[in-house]
Amino acid sequence: ERLTRDEVVANCILLLFAGHETTTNLLGNGLFHLLRHPAEAALLRADPSLLHGAVEELLRYDGPVPATVKVATADVPWHGRTIRRGDMVVPFLASANRDPRQFPNPDTLDVRRHPERHVAFAAGIHFCLGAWLARLEARVVLDTVLRRLPDLALAPGEPRWKPMIFLRGLEALPLEWRCT
């Protein structure tokens, strides 16, 4: 079956944004939360082996894709109703990642947590193709920033979030750094 022109364009746009926007948002969101929780950042500086789990926790805690859009491929009964084939469905991944049945104290950032069941990269056939690259980039960048800029801190002023629903990222993050 051939793709339509619109499907080709949609896939090109997806590849462009999936490889850029989401990773920069992951890095910005992650850095923001580590600076908001200096004890967690200190744990990572003291023990870089925690970085692997910390990246997973940052993805769970405030990932770059809070929601997505899917199209039902079959009728699905759902809590007394039916999602019809062809209906658009909007799964809120961020909500699932804060489910207290899956994650004890879900509103707490804990870089020692190992949230293997988070869905920041979706799941199954919809799992993000760039997940491994994004994880690697996040580990390298966060490790480098934490080691090389130990005095990096949030500056006075509020961060500005991009006004988007399906992507979550910072438009501006005031920072200060003292050279020592």
Give the model's pLDDT for residue 12: 84
Angle at 22 between CA 143 and CA 173, to 5 degrees: 65
Alpha helices in 20-130 (DSSP H): 21-36, 38-46, 51-62, 93-96
Q: State pTM to two decimals.
A: 0.88
Number of neighbours of residue 105 by Cβ within 10 angstroms: 9
By 3-state DSSP, what share of the chain in percent is helix, strand and coil, each rounded to 5? 45, 10, 45
Domains of the chain are 5-65+101-176 (1.10.630.10)
Q: Is the pLDDT of residue 159 over 80?
A: yes
Q: Is the pLDDT of residue 18 over 90?
A: no
Q: Is the pLDDT of residue 134 over 90?
A: yes
Q: Which tokens go with 91?
A: 């799964």
Q: What is the DSSP letter of 125?
A: G
Residues of the chain with pLDDT > 90, as a percent, come to 81
Q: Is the pLDDT of residue 19 over 80?
A: no
Give the model's pLDDT for residue 11: 83
- Mean pLDDT value of segment 52-81: 96
